[in-house]
Amino acid sequence: MYSAISFFVVLILIGVPLWWKTTEVYRFSLPYSQIDVLHEHKLTIQMNIHVMTIDNSRGTAIVEDLKKFFQISKIFNITFKQHTVDKQLLGSCKTLAEIENKIKHPSYVGSLQLIEIPGLSRFVPYSIVLGEKRTIYFASNVDVVKLYDFINTKVLNEDVLVDTTLEINLPVQSKLNKNSRHKISLSESFDILFTILNPDPDLLDVTFDIQKAIEDFVTPFKSDLNDMYEFHIKSQWLYYVDLQVQTKFLNFTDKGPHFALPADLLPHVITPLEKKLASHVSKYPCLNFILYIPPCATSPLFIYTKNGFKLEGANAFISPKWGGIQIYNHNRNFCSDGKKVEVNIDSNYVMSVYLAQFRLLLGMPDIAEVQDTKNLNKVRLWEKDSLLRLRTVEQLTFTKLTLQSLSKLLGKINNIVINDQVGHAIYSALDNVYEASEALGKGDLLTGYNLSKKAFLASEKAFTDPSLLSLLYFPDDQKYAVYIPLFLPIMIPVLISIKPILQWLNLKLKEK
């Protein structure tokens, strides 16, 4: 009887608790309550705008009007500072570029400066002009409403920031503008693949030093963004590869005979090309920039809009989040008698189109509608500030959404392992969200961006950790199917022995 009792004690009183403890799912304690209230956390970006005018009273009036307009801002908290511009300095300059070189520009990331230029029309045909640094020049007779609209829509891009937040949180309800639709998804590294398509190398002798073009145009642009992105640039030539869409021959007297590529066929161009590009052979997202030289049989080839009109401007189009395709026509008059046609690519034109597409894909503001854009291979400081704001808002919004989704998932499924690495990543992401928001509230855009990037990477690391899936194949309701056949043969003798043990104990108690 003593052996039965000892066996019962060891198995039931010691073995079962020990088995329960050693087989339980390890779950790092998480801040569920703090994550649940993340959606209530309002993001505010503080910034300074310096207003410099000839007349002090004029400056006061502009500042007061701008304050009223920006009071309705959902994101920005702007502090305006009024100054008087140096009249002698402005009078001594003969060009706007000379003014740009002589004046002092704000050095603080995210700040902005407005300078009144009497007779601005002498220099440029615009009443408001963006400089290369963080300065906006405006004419003395400019309407303050127009000035506010320019700042808000072209520089601060508040509508894009709001749309971006909506797109992430409520993708079904969001109504994205052109910039929001085009921009690439979040990543710290990208591949950029330049591809030249020569569908008929037997007849087309194409000359294009793509490596030099990349060095002259893309490398300076890339260098300006090195602290934000890591770009891996590649190039390739593909021969005997055509667009595989049916073009339409047109013969207008004013435009001459040519071929049309309708806009509704453009999506069908990309799918067959992707199989040839090998852009998927990378762990990073890839941006594709394709240059297509039509063969003599379908040259010249022009893109036509959905309304049936020839596309104005560059003969190119963008595929959102994917890249851009450019059609480069050669002189069809040289296509005769099966002779080889020499095609010399204009690097300046082609790369300017690519850089314009690249800017839109990154999410940079498009100012081509309001002023001429030159030096596209350099990033203006106000452009970089705008991109920093956009990526910061994106990263913080994605992090909040990822943490909330992960919190709901881990709270709902109890047998998911939460190891220390995942737990620390979640805490790191949460802390960086609040620290980034605090930095933005103080006007420190660069610190806010770096902290938001850390938060985003930490949240992605936690969400994609493979350890979260380690026990999902063994749910709770299947444990009994495994444990009952395993332990029942051992437990039956133990359970049967309980009655004799109780009888023996009662007998011992009566004897006492």
pLDDT at site 172? 45
pLDDT, position 91: 82
pLDDT of residue 125: 82
Identify the residue with better confidence: 385 or 23. Answer: 385
Residue 111 is predicted with a pLDDT of: 94
Whether pLDDT at 21 is above 80: no
User: Which SS3 state, helix, strand or coil, does residue 203 take?
Assistant: coil
Overall average pLDDT of the 281-302 stretch: 88
User: What's the pLDDT at 3?
Assistant: 66
CA-derived radius of gyration, the chain = 33
**Residue 458: how many CB atoms within 10 A of its CB?**
23
Among 15-29, 273-287, 354-368, whose mean pLDDT is lowest?
Answer: 15-29
> Which of 55-65 are b and which e, b meaning 16 or more Cβ less than 10 Å from the residue's Cβ?
eeeebeebbee
CA 389 – CA 368 distance, rounded (Å): 21
Query: Which residues pair with residue 259 across a beta bridge?
Result: 249, 301
Average pLDDT over residues 10-15: 69
What is residue 178's predicted lDDT score, i.e. its pLDDT?
54
Looking at the predicted structure, is the pLDDT value of residue 394 above 80? Answer: yes
The span from the CA of 215 to the CA of 213, in Å, is: 5
Strands annotated E in 67-140: 76-84, 112-117, 128-130, 135-139
Reply yes or no: is the peptide bond before residue 300 cis, omega within 30 of 0: yes
Instruction: Work out the number of other CB atoms within 10 angstroms of the CB of residue 498.
Output: 12
pLDDT score for 368: 63
Q: What is the pLDDT of residue 432?
A: 96
Which of residues 459 and 276 earns the better pLDDT score?
459
The DSSP result for 137-149, as a single string, is EEETT--HHHHHH
Number of H helices, E strands in the chain: 18, 15
Question: Taking the domain 46-160, which CATH number applies?
Answer: 3.40.50
pLDDT, position 446: 95
Query: What's the Cα-to-Cα distance from 511 to each of 6, 270, 504, rounded to whole Å?
Result: 22, 94, 11
| C-alpha closest to that of 231 among 220, 244, 245 | 220
Q: Are 304 and 262 in contact (CB under 8 A)?
A: yes
For residue 198, report the phi and psi dihedrals to the nearest 5 degrees: -115, 100
Q: How far is CA 411 from CA 408, 417, 421, 458, in A?
A: 5, 11, 18, 19
- Type and span of the H or E element at 112: strand 112-117
Among 101-110, 278-287, 398-407, 456-465, the range scoring the smallest mean pLDDT is: 278-287
Nearest to 457 by CA among 409, 405, 395: 395
Q: Which residues contact 374 (CB under 8 A, 6 or more apart)?
A: none
Q: Is the pLDDT of residue 188 over 70?
A: yes
pLDDT at 434: 94
Q: Give the residue extent of every domain in the chain.
A: 2-22+474-511, 46-160, 184-362
Percent of the chain with pLDDT over 90: 41
Closest CA to 92 of 84, 83, 101: 101
For residues 41-47, average pLDDT: 90
pLDDT of residue 22: 62
What's the chain's average pLDDT?
85
Amino acid at 346: D
Give the tens place of pLDDT for each residue, 426-448.
999 999 999 999 999 999 999 99
Q: For residues 356 and 362, what is the distance between their CA atoms, to the nearest angstrom?
A: 10
Question: Span 465-475, mean pLDDT?
Answer: 71
Cα–Cα dist 197/291, whole Å: 6
Q: What confidence score (pLDDT) does residue 506 get?
A: 78
Q: How confident is the model at residue 65 (pLDDT cuts 50, 70, 90)?
A: very high
Kindly state the helix (H) or strand (E) to which residue 236 belongs, with its residue range: strand 230-239
Where is average pLDDT lowest: 17-21, 203-207, 240-244? 17-21
CA 502 to chain centre: 71
Q: Which helix (H) or strand (E) holds 394?
A: helix 381-412
